Structure formats: C-alpha cells, structure tokens
Amino acid sequence: MPAGYARVDNARILVVDDDREIAMAIEKLLAREGYEVIKAYDGMQALEALAGNQVHLILLDIMMPKLDGLSATMKIRESRNIPIIIISAKSEDSDKILGLSMGADDYVTKPFNPQELVARVKSQLRRYMHLGDIANGPKSASVLRTGGLCLDTEAKQLTVDGEPVKLTAKEYKILELLMSNPGVVFSAEQIYEAVWKEVPYSVENTVMVHIRRIREKIEINPKEPKYLKVVWGIGYKIEKI
Amino acid sequence: MVTRLRRFSTDPVAKTIAFILTVLILTGLAELFLYICFRNLDPQCIPVDGYFDSTEFVDLMGKAAAEASDALFSDELPGNVPYYYYISDGNKELTNVENPDKSFFEQFEPAFCALENGQWHLKSKSSFPYSSRYTFKLSVSEVLKKSNTIYIAYPKEYIKSLEQEWNQDRTVVIRLVTVAAAGAALAVILAIYLAAVTGRRPEDMELHPGRTDSVYSDILIAVLCFLALAWYLLYLAAYDLGANDTGTLTASHKLTLIVFGAITLPAAALCEAILLALIRKIKAGTLIKHSLIYKFLYRIYDYAVSLFDGRAFSKYPLTRSLFYRQLIFIILSFVFVFLTFVFMLAESLAVIIPPVLEAIIIYWYIKGNNRTYMDINRGFNESLEEQMKSERMKVALITNVSHDLKTPLTSIVSYIDLLSKEEGLPEPARDYVRILGEKAGRLSNMVSDLFDLAKSTSGNMPVDTEKLDLRKLIEQTLADMNDRIENSGLSFRVKLPEKSMQIYADGKKLYRVFQNVIDNALKYSLQGTRVYISLEETEGMAVATVKNTAGYEMDFTAEEILQRFTRGDKSRTSEGSGLGLSIAESFTRLCGGRFRVDIDGDLFKVTVSFNLAQQ
C-alpha cells in the first residue's frame, strides 16, 4: 500500500451540505461505519477544509451558497483526484451527466437511501485505495476495465472496486462479451448466440434473468444500474466509463 | 275589465277568426266587383232619381238622334226602329207616323227630343246632354242648319219596360253596393283590430314575433307586390273575358267567377299574413333593420367604418399602418397616372411632373413598409422571448419546489435510519420507527412521481426518441418484473407476435409506461385471476393491451382513473402514489403514442398504441 493512504476503515471524509441537519445525519451514518468526518456548509468552506486536512473522499451537495457543488468539483479537480460523490436533489439524467463530466465519480440523488450511500462511499474508497494495486497490476490486454469493474479474462476473475465477485460460467461469458465492447448494444439473440452457442428462440426472458443476476452482483443499486444497462426495446450494454 | 278585454282580444282563437273573416270578406268584395261588371251594372245609377235622369236614357235618346241625323244625308232610316220619328231638311220629309205633328210627339214627353232652329231639345230643355259617342254626329253644322227639323219619341210601352228594367237593376245595385260597403267597413275594422293585436298574447305584454317574421322584410314586400300585381292582372283578364253588353250571366261567367274566387282566397290570405308580419315588424321596430338590403348596406358601411375607426385592425395593430399606406399609395398612383395622360393629351411639358411624384411616393411606400415589417419582427421576437421566459420559469418552479421538498425528506429518511440503528430502543418504539421508515419511503416515491408527471405534462421533459422493438421492450419489462409476477399469485397470459414491432419512442419512458401498467395489474387484480398481455399489428399500428380482472368494484370512469391523484380504491390505503397510470398516459403521449383505458364491469383494460416505423 502506498505511503500516505489511510486504510479504508479509518478514511477521512469531507461532507459538504448547506443543510446542517443533513450534514450531521451523514456524519453519524458514516461515523457508525468507522469513518472520520469533517463537515463544511458551502463550497468555500469545503476548499478551506480540503487545504488544511488529509481527506480521502468528498460528499458534495450541488445547490449551496457562495460556491456551488459543480464549481467546487472543478476547483478540487484542478489539483486533486480524490473520489467525489455528488449528493443532490437534482434528479434529471442531464444533471447526473453534467456532474459526472465535471469530474465527480458518483452521483446520488436526494432523498437517498442511507445504506446505499454508505455502500457507494465504501465502493469509491475501495477503488481509490486499491488504485495503486490495480495500476501496478498486470497491464495485459487480457484485463478488461470499465470504471470499478475489472475482468481478468485469463484468470476468469471479476473484481468490483477491488472486491472479487463470483460469477457463473454464463454470467462470466455475458459480461466478457459486453465488456469487450463497452457502449455497444447487444440484443438478447446476439448474446444468446454468443454465449449459449445455440439458435436463439424466444430467449429474452433467459437473457434478462442472467442480466439481472449479474446486476445484483456488480451494482450497488440494481434498480439504478451504473454499469450494466438495459436499452429498452433494443438490448443490453456495458456503459463506457 | 280592461284586462279581460285584452285577454279576449289577444286570444289566438279570436285573432284566427278575425283573420279568416277578413280574408273571406276581401274575396267576397272582389267577386262582387267582378259580378257587377259581368252584369253590366253601373253603380252610377244610385244617386240618380229616376230612369229619365239616367245616362242610359240619355244614351237611348242620343242614339236615336244620331241615327236620325244620319238620315238627313242618306235620306233613309234603318227599317225597324223602336221609336217614332219625323225628319225634315225643309224640302224632304221622313216619318213613320201618319200625322207628323209636333204635338203628337210631345205627348210622349219625357221620351221626346227635337231639333228645331239649329237647336236640340230634350225633356223640354234647350240643351242636349250629349254623350261623347254621339257628339260628332249631332253637332256638325250641316245638322244644326235652321232648316232642319227632327222629332223623335219612344212609344210609352217601350219606355215603360226599359224604365222597369232600369229600376230593377238599380235596386240590385243598391243592395250589392250596400253589402259591399258594409263588408268593406267590417274588413277595415277587422284589419285595424288585427293590426293592433298581432304579435300580442294574452299571457304577457311582450311582442311575440310570428314564424314568418324571420323572413327578411324586403323579401316579404317583394312577395306582397308580386302577389298584388299578379292578382290585378288576373282580375283584368277575368274582366275582359266577361265583358259584354248583354248584362246577363252565362255559364262561362259563372265558371270564371268560381275560378277567380278560388285563386283570390289563398292570395288574399297570403297577402294578409305578409301584411301582418310587416306590421309586427313595424311594431318591433325591425322592419328596416331586418331586411336584406339593410343588412347588405350595413355590412358595407360597417366594414368601411371599421377600416377607419381601427376596429378592423384591433387584432392586427401592426398591419394598420400597412393598410393606410397601401390605400394612399393606390389612390395617389391612380391620380398620377391619370394626370400623366391628361398632360400627354395636352402635349404639355408638365407631363414629367407626375412620374417624378410617383417615384417619390414609391420611395415613401417602400420605406414605410420596411419600417412596419421591422416593427412586426420585433413584436414577434418579443412575444417569442416572453414565451420562452415563462417556459423557463415553469421549469425553474418545478425544480425549486422539487428541491424544497426533497431536502427535508432527506433529513427525515436519514434520521429514521439512524434512529432504527439506535440500541436500547423499546419494542414499540422500534415498530414506530419501522412505520416511519415505510411512510417516508412512500412519500419520497410520491414526490418523485409527482415531479415526473408535472414535467411530462408541462412539456419540460426531454424525449430521447429512437427506433426500438416494442415486442422486445414488453418481453424485457416482463422479465425485469419476473419475481413480482411469479410471487403475485396471478397467472400471466402473454401473446406476442413472432416478428418484431419497430416503433419510434423513448425506451426508458416506454419501459416506465409498461412497468406502471403491469404494476397496476399486479396491485389491483383479484387473487388467482389471469392477466392478459398481447401485442398485435392493426392498421399500421402496434397495439399492446393489458387486461386484468379487478379485485374490487370499479365505481369510476376511465377518465377519472387517469386524472391526477385518482386512485382505484377510494379509501387510498394501499401503497403507491396513485399517479402510475397518469404517468403512463403522459409518457405514452410524450413518445407519440395513444393511451386508452376501458372499464367494463370488473374488466380493466389498458391499450397502448403506436404507429409502426416505416420499414
């Protein structure tokens, strides 16, 4: 483990929200998981807190006085690459895309599920902490990467944010097909033909069931998948991240 | 008393009787006149005292005198004349009496006339009441020579019979004229009565227009004039047909009278009805206003006025200046062209002045128009901007309210979670926290649904349309909801076509549509029943239907269920926001499809249809 990086369990997290009750609630939620929390109530305070403290992850609201979350994200990204999770009441797809393109790593909408928030924080921290491992790991063409997903096609091993995940043979093959072509939409027939090697005949349900199982293994919230997406009326794809 | 009289006088029965009576009297009068003509009866005889003062008598004598005057030159008289005569020109004498003495003739006084000393005498007067028919023959100077002498007298028996006949006729005429006068008087009274009460009713003081009053006044008047003219021509024709001198009625006369009466009766009725309608209009003051000519003229007048008082341009204020400018331009151009011709004909050098002025006018016209077009463009842009602004404000409002609701909700959800993890809570408190957690979750679902709906119905939701397979989408949705379907205790009968159904829609939204519709079926179906899902092609449309049997009585209409916040069960106890079908409908429309709910007894049916994409 590289020097200067704290262990996942006692990482320091900066919570930024102009609503003090929410900031406090998040502090308690995270403290319960053993994290150290620093609070800030606007973008300027967040930048100050960041300057004076070693921080491993930032939870950032968008609509704040003085300096809003998006501008703060851009400012932070100028010098730091620590994980930033945006927590916002803005729930439009366009807002999410904007937030992520500004440099945020994840986007959680209010009102959030506390357990999901904690899971996302853990996931981001793991990825951040293990980044060194991953970066130093085998860089061969046999490793497929998408965001926190890492599929080693030689070892036939999938890790999500560094955590190994067990897949069945079919699930593995589906994921391999999709991850080899990130952003490409495959129909159920194409997936079936490639994975089952049989003539596809009314296979939507079969494929969909597998997709759902994979999602439950790799997504924090399977209902709002980040990686494995259904393109309704067309097929399935792995998001290109 | 007055009111009773009024009630009686305005009674429809009284009015109808008066109307019929008037028509009958008028027809009778017309018949009477024709009859008098046919009988050769002369009403002029009424003021005459006796036969010897009548024109008939004078005519009789005059005719005889004229015949006698002729005899002065022809020397002969028609053989068999009914009168005695003595004609002498001083030399010759003609007579049919044995003793042509003046005293013989004088005994027949007053049926006696004489020419003596160049002077006619009748009834011992020295003047002769010439009838125009005989004036020429009696008054030529050849006849009035002093040497000429004529005595004429009618035998007493002959005159007596004529006098009797005349007297009989006079009696008849007097009787007829009396009847006619009485009838006319009655008709006038009835007409005045009808004119007074027409349009009035016993129950109120209002003026009630009749059925014919909706016809324009000028049309009524035209019909009236036409009828009157036609009737008058008919009367003249009948008069000519029956004109004779005999004074007796033949069979053809009687037939003419009957036909004439049969035509006069309805014509009189129609005329009277029209007249009454016109009178009602006069009473209502609409005689002139309710006429085609007035309407036509008023329309023209109104349009002309509207051009100048600004009404014509009240909706298009920007084109007003265009109109005036156009008007001035056209008039001035016309004047200049005219002046050019005048100067050309006069071969005057001033011929160049109008074209120069015209050029100036054209410049002014184009410049003015350009300014107006600029104004129009500016106004258009302003209104567009205004619209955009209000559109942006709507979006901002939804976003702000959304933020204001979600922020406290976030605190509630977070603290409930913290509370539930708190150790040492008593068992009831743990229960309460669980309930709070459930309700907070539902609340956040509702808020999210509400904003989806608000956005989609206000048209502020981006739609990402792409070509997709509706059959595949339904299969995916069903597979996605597989766990819930299997645990529902309902059996799903899915009938999808073999081939794909390509449509243009937003896949994510359409997934929400079918998710919500199937969700609705899962929530509200009767336990153990079947849910039918089918997709088929009908007339170039992809039609998907979801049918289920409701587990409760659906006492609402298809429209009500789609209205915001209407929920199937009015008690509103079960989970869900009640917006599912509303969102489904709104999203379907957003994608360009049609969403329809049918309720038939316990059968609940949702139909979603889309136009198939062109292959």
Q: Does pLDDT of B253 surpass 70?
A: yes
Decide which of A139 and A23 is more confident.
A23
- Segment B226-238 mean pLDDT: 90
- Same-domain check for residues B114 and B207: no
Scanning B61-100 for CB atoms below 8 A from A yields none
| CA distances from residue B188 to B185, B273, B505 in whole angstroms, order as listed | 5, 15, 84
Q: What is the pLDDT of residue B313?
A: 73
Judge whether B42 is closer than 8 Å to chain A, CB to CB.
Answer: no
Of B444, B480, B507, the CB nearest to A234: B507
A208/B482 Cβ within 8 A = yes
Question: Cβ distance A16 to A72 under 8 Å?
Answer: yes
User: Which residues of chain A approach chain B closer than 8 Å at the C-beta?
Assistant: 19, 21-22, 25-26, 28-29, 32, 63, 89-91, 93-94, 110-115, 187-188, 204-205, 207-209, 212, 230-235
Domain boundary (B129, B154, B179) is at B154
Q: Mind listing the pLDDT tens digit for each residue in B90-133?
A: 777 788 877 777 788 888 878 888 888 777 777 766 566 665 56
Q: Does pLDDT of B320 surpass 80?
A: no
Scanning B376-435 for CB atoms below 8 A from A yields 399, 402-403, 406-407, 409-415, 417-418, 421
- Give the number of other Cβ atoms within 10 Å of residue B62's Cβ: 24
Judge whether B460 is closer than 8 Å to chain A, CB to CB.
Answer: no
- What φ, ψ does residue B535 adopt, rounded to 5°? -140, 130
Q: Mind listing the pLDDT tens digit for each residue in B394-409?
A: 777 777 888 888 889 9
Residues from chain B that touch A28, judged by Cβ atoms under 8 A, are 418
Q: Which helix (H) or strand (E) holds A143?
A: strand A143-146
A32/B421 Cβ within 8 A = yes
- Same-domain check for residues B81 and B175: no
Q: Which residues pair with B441 in a beta bridge?
A: none
| Residue B323 located in a structural domain | no
Q: What is the pLDDT of residue B470?
A: 92
**pLDDT band at residue B36 under the 50/70/90 scheme:** confident
| Residue B556 located in a structural domain | yes
B411/A21 Cβ within 8 A = yes
Structural domains present in chain A: 8-134 (3.40.50.2300), 138-238 (1.10.10.10)
- Same-domain check for residues B146 and B176: no
- Same-domain check for residues B147 and B207: no
A110/B409 Cβ within 8 A = yes
Residues from chain A that touch B470, judged by Cβ atoms under 8 A, are 233
3-state class (DSSP) for residue B533: strand
Judge whether B507 is closer than 8 Å to chain A, CB to CB.
Answer: yes
| Residue B338 located in a structural domain | no
Q: What is the pLDDT of residue A2?
A: 40
Of B402, B411, B472, the CB nearest to A204: B472
How close does chain A come to B569, measured CA to CA in Å? Answer: 28
B417/A111 Cβ within 8 A = no
Q: What is the pLDDT of residue A236?
A: 92
- Segment A68-89 mean pLDDT: 89
- Segment B22-27 mean pLDDT: 91
Q: Mind listing the pLDDT tens digit for each residue in B362-382?
A: 999 999 889 888 888 888 899
Q: What is the pLDDT of residue B20?
A: 92
Total CB pairs under 8 A between chain A and B: 107
Please give the Cα distance from A12 to B426 (Å, whole number).
34
Q: Mind listing the pLDDT tens digit for each residue in B435-468?
A: 998 888 888 888 888 888 888 877 777 888 899 9
- Same-domain check for residues B206 and B143: no
Decide which of B178 and B77 is more confident.
B178
Of A29, A91, A235, the CB nearest to B414: A29
> Residue A200 burial by CB count (10 A; 0-12/13-18/19+): exposed, middle or buried?
middle
How close does chain A come to B418, measured CA to CA in Å? Answer: 7
| CA distances from residue B231 to B28, B72, B227, B234 in whole angstroms, order as listed | 14, 50, 6, 5
| Residue B329 located in a structural domain | no
Domain boundary (B218, B250, B284) is at B284
- Same-domain check for residues B89 and B202: no
How close does chain B come to A51, measured CA to CA in Å? Answer: 28
Domain boundary (B154, B181, B196) is at B154
- Same-domain check for residues B485 and B603: yes
Question: Angle at Cα B494 formed by Cα B491 and Cα B495, nearest 5°?
Answer: 150
Judge whether B306 is closer than 8 Å to chain A, CB to CB.
Answer: no
- Give the number of other Cβ atoms within 10 Å of residue B32's Cβ: 16
B412/A111 Cβ within 8 A = yes
Q: Which helix (H) or strand (E) holds B610?
A: strand B603-611
Residue B442's closest chain A neighbor by CA?
Answer: A111
Of B413, B451, B511, the CB nearest to A111: B413
Residues from chain A that touch B477, judged by Cβ atoms under 8 A, are 232
| CA distances from residue B516 to A97, B348, B453, B519, B584 in whole angstroms, order as listed | 26, 90, 13, 5, 6
Residue B473's closest chain A neighbor by CA?
Answer: A233
| Residue B235 located in a structural domain | yes
**pLDDT band at residue A5 under the 50/70/90 scheme:** very low
Q: DSSP string spanning B165-192? A: HHHHHHHHHHHHHHHHHHHHHHHHHHHH
Of A19, A212, A233, the CB nearest to B407: A19
Of B403, B462, B473, the CB nearest to A232: B473
| Residue B238 located in a structural domain | yes
Q: Mind listing the pLDDT tens digit for each residue in B40-72?
A: 777 777 777 788 777 778 878 888 888 888 777
Residues from chain B that touch A209, judged by Cβ atoms under 8 A, are 479, 482
Residues from chain B that touch A22, judged by Cβ atoms under 8 A, are 407, 410-411, 414
Q: Does pLDDT of A4 surpass 60?
A: no
Mean pLDDT of chain B: 84
Of B466, B477, B482, the CB nearest to A209: B482
Full residue range of the structural domain in which residue B551 is found: 462-611
B410/A22 Cβ within 8 A = yes
Q: What is the ipTM of this complex?
A: 0.82
Q: What is the pLDDT of residue B615?
A: 66
Judge whether B490 is closer than 8 Å to chain A, CB to CB.
Answer: no
- Same-domain check for residues B78 and B181: no
- Same-domain check for residues B23 and B82: no
Residue B505's closest chain A neighbor by CA?
Answer: A233
Q: What is the pLDDT of residue A133?
A: 53
- Same-domain check for residues B470 and B564: yes
Which domain CATH number covers B468? 3.30.565.10
- Give the number of other Cβ atoms within 10 Å of residue B538's Cβ: 9
Q: Mind listing the pLDDT tens digit for each residue in B68-85?
A: 887 777 777 666 778 888
Please give the Cα distance from B475 to B496 (Å, whole number).
9
**pLDDT band at residue A6 under the 50/70/90 scheme:** very low
Q: Mind listing the pLDDT tens digit for each residue in A23-40?
A: 999 999 998 888 889 999
Structural domains in chain B (count) = 3
Q: What is the pLDDT of residue B230?
A: 92
| Residue B423 located in a structural domain | no
- Same-domain check for residues B18 and B131: no
Q: Mind listing the pLDDT tens digit for each residue in B531-585?
A: 999 999 988 899 999 999 988 887 777 777 777 555 555 545 555 667 888 889 8
- Same-domain check for residues B255 and B181: yes
Please give the Cα distance from A66 to A64 (Å, whole number).
7
- Give the number of other Cβ atoms within 10 Å of residue B33's Cβ: 15
| Residue B69 located in a structural domain | yes
Residue A94's closest chain B neighbor by CA?
Answer: B462
